[in-house]
Structure 1
């Protein structure tokens, strides 16, 4: 299949998927253009704003991409009987939390990386869409080995936290 055919299929898929959205239907009826054009235009403007990061808008939009897409999939997963989608999204939230903590401590350095928020947005989309499997890959290769060693049952950090919690609860009772 040639690239123009793939593009037409992609645009027709967007049109079908957005057929019952009122705002996009209004765009279609007023302009005579397909709904997919509005979706692509919005996506393009969104990515330009992330790229430019004027007034910190790139950071805000990047975080919205990191919350909205997986949040939507999480709400769907909570209403399904299957647990496989739950574990995929739980892996996402663990990776997302790990990224936010790492970003907090290195924010001064990250602001000097060109296109950081654009790359972060694409990364968040990659790990946020369960079909890509990015969160599971990052979790299993980077975070899980660390968590098994330090946080898991019998891990060093887990034991220390239990001792501190026991000490705090003893001190409160006195």
Structure 2
């Protein structure tokens, strides 16, 4: 009988020890978001972020104006980004971001070879690299709210010296859901 009791106590203690070492918590990794700040101004701006770890995530953003409430001169804007989070929770709190922005805008440029210099509208596609910073709040139910601001510089267009859109702004007030 003593052997059975000792074996039972030993088995229960091993089982309890094993349970304490295997704490498993499920973390959500997907975040679709809508930029409500731009939506109010007539601009469809959606993002998707995939969380790589508790400190970082990668994402993509698409912006297309749909209303002439604000004269955007932007045809589309496609941005890929990498974020590093500084908060105590999983991908929450302050973050810094590096981004690459493919943009197509209607811009006024100088036409060389004309005297006086003539300016015409032209659709120009360019790539900008830049930095942003912001803050993200995540509720216990998975709703996210983030605000961020940053900027970058267009790099490759031959018209950069005479453009209005030499720099790009990256800003937003995003509402999303983490699952």
Normalised by the size of structure 1, how large is the TM-score? Answer: 0.20
Compare the two structures and name the one with the higher helix fraction. Answer: 1
Which is higher, the Rg of structure 1 or of structure 2? 2
Normalised by the size of structure 2, how large is the TM-score? Answer: 0.20
